[in-house]
A and B are shown apart, each in its own frame.
Chain A
């Protein structure tokens, strides 16, 4: 079973994402900020990361840059999921190594479509 780390400081968003992703066959781990997410990845690299942008302690883009520099950190597909919807933000995410990008608000259909685009389904 593929694993997905859901990184978001909102417990509600994590819960919604978990339900959708479990429905399409992922095993879920959760982290509330980039630092916690990095600790998870160092322990067990997931197949996918669903990543919020604005979080306390360490934000999503800083996490992504660090992840990509870690041993094995190039492997996970990283899908941003954020309210930031400007082309500049999207370009910055792609340059930092994001595979796909979801603009909130999202629904299950969008998550599924984007995970398919990232080659995860």
Chain B
């Protein structure tokens, strides 16, 4: 790859997904583009990039952007965050919502581990309102990630990172050398390809939105816009979940961090009322 190639990729990532492509890490870019080049029958990454320039074909451009944006994930990534959601956030919400469905959205769900972890956390949560109902949504930029997420089939390596063995036995079925999430969990989740830079105002209300592994990789100028757009979908007592290390200064007018420092943010009605007065 030439410096011009890297600039082209960085420009595509920025324009299409708001994602900051780390041009100082060419090996990372190459490791993500190599499988795509093979799949598209190009001899090399250079040939793939040459085709990108000459054809300017939308489908290929998106395939490249999706490959560049693909992120590592794992079950229960951020154990303390999930423990707080399971033990505090979900029980409190369910006591208020009673039988009204609690809607939970994993806004960059990658290959599905995060949204399935949430569904398992809800199934394991103590002190829920009897008859509490949950609806889960997983969205991602990458169609290929969504296909894998929807299938719910994971390798032995994937289920051993972050997933306690008792939960593996309880919520997965063994299939040859892979593990499939049980149908009762899988059927609770709906999937959609969503670009978080698009207009999200018609998404409807969500009680809990997970926006993790996203802001840190975004162009700084877009972080606040995306976080605020998602925060706007929350009800008064809704919850936004970021990575603990994310900079939340762009949303601190509408959201307050929950105690614990695990990246959980609450809408704070008192602050909003004061701003309106």
| Contacts from A to B (Cβ < 8 Å) | 85-87, 90-91, 94, 98, 100-103, 106-107, 109-110, 113-114, 116-117
Which A residues touch B156, using CB under 8 A?
85, 103
Q: How far is the CA of A85 from the CA of B191 in the complex (A)?
A: 30
Q: Mark B147-188, 1 if CB is under 8 A from A, else 0.
A: 000000000110011101110110001100100000000000
Q: How far is the CA of A105 from the CA of B165 in the complex (A)?
A: 16
Q: What are 17 A-B pairs at a CB distance below 8 A?
A: A85-B174, A86-B174, A87-B169, A90-B168, A91-B169, A94-B165, A94-B169, A98-B165, A101-B165, A102-B160, A110-B157, A110-B160, A113-B160, A113-B161, A114-B160, A117-B164, A117-B165
Which B residues touch A107, using CB under 8 A?
157
Which A residues touch B173, using CB under 8 A?
87
B79 at the interface (CB under 8 A from A): yes
Which A residues touch B157, using CB under 8 A?
107, 110
Q: How far is the CA of A107 from the CA of B160 in the complex (A)?
A: 10
Q: Specify which of A91, A100, A106 is in contact with B164 (CB 8 Å cutoff).
A: A100
By beta carbon, the residue of chain B nearest A110 is B160
Q: How far is the CA of A1 from the CA of B169 in the complex (A)?
A: 32
By beta carbon, the residue of chain B nearest A106 is B160
Q: How far is the CA of A58 from the CA of B223 in the complex (A)?
A: 58
Q: Which one of A86, A103, A107, A116 has the highest number of Cβ atoms from chain B below 10 Å of its Cβ? A: A103
Which B residues touch A94, using CB under 8 A?
165-166, 169
Q: How far is the CA of A48 from the CA of B157 in the complex (A)?
A: 22
By beta carbon, the residue of chain B nearest A111 is B160
| Contacts from B to A (Cβ < 8 Å) | 79, 156-157, 160-162, 164-166, 168-169, 173-174, 177
Q: Is there an interface contact between A87 and B174, defined as CB atoms closer than 8 Å?
A: yes
In the assembled complex, the CB of A59 is this many whole angstroms from the nearest CB of chain B, namely: 19
Q: How far is the CA of A109 from the CA of B161 in the complex (A)?
A: 7
Q: How far is the CA of A101 from the CA of B164 in the complex (A)?
A: 9
Q: Is there an interface contact between A90 and B160, defined as CB atoms closer than 8 Å?
A: no
Q: How far is the CA of A86 from the CA of B161 in the complex (A)?
A: 18
Q: Which one of B160, B162, B169, B173 has the highest number of Cβ atoms from chain A below 10 Å of its Cβ? A: B160
Q: Is there an interface contact between A116 and B165, defined as CB atoms closer than 8 Å?
A: no
Q: Specify which of B79, B161, B162, B169 is in contact with A90 (CB 8 Å cutoff).
A: B169
Q: Is there an interface contact between A113 and B162, defined as CB atoms closer than 8 Å?
A: yes
Which B residues touch A100, using CB under 8 A?
164-165
Q: Is there an interface contact between A103 and B160, defined as CB atoms closer than 8 Å?
A: yes
By beta carbon, the residue of chain B nearest A102 is B160
Q: Is there an interface contact between A110 and B161, defined as CB atoms closer than 8 Å?
A: yes
Q: Specify which of A86, A90, A106, A109 is in contact with B165 (CB 8 Å cutoff).
A: A90
In the assembled complex, the CB of B47 is this many whole angstroms from the nearest CB of chain A, namely: 33
Q: How far is the CA of A116 from the CA of B157 in the complex (A)?
A: 16
Q: How far is the CA of A109 from the CA of B156 in the complex (A)?
A: 13
Q: How far is the CA of A84 from the CA of B194 in the complex (A)?
A: 40
In the assembled complex, the CB of B198 is this many whole angstroms from the nearest CB of chain A, namely: 35
Q: How far is the CA of A85 from the CA of B179 in the complex (A)?
A: 11
Which B residues touch A109, using CB under 8 A?
161
By beta carbon, the residue of chain B nearest A116 is B79
In the assembled complex, the CB of B191 is this many whole angstroms from the nearest CB of chain A, namely: 26
Q: How far is the CA of A52 from the CA of B174 in the complex (A)?
A: 21
Q: How far is the CA of A86 from the CA of B162 in the complex (A)?
A: 19
Q: How far is the CA of A47 from the CA of B133 in the complex (A)?
A: 41
In the assembled complex, the CB of A61 is this many whole angstroms from the nearest CB of chain B, namely: 15
Q: How far is the CA of A117 from the CA of B162 in the complex (A)?
A: 8
Q: How far is the CA of A27 from the CA of B177 in the complex (A)?
A: 33
Q: How far is the CA of A91 from the CA of B168 in the complex (A)?
A: 11
In the assembled complex, the CB of A89 is this many whole angstroms from the nearest CB of chain B, namely: 10
By beta carbon, the residue of chain A nearest B159 is A103
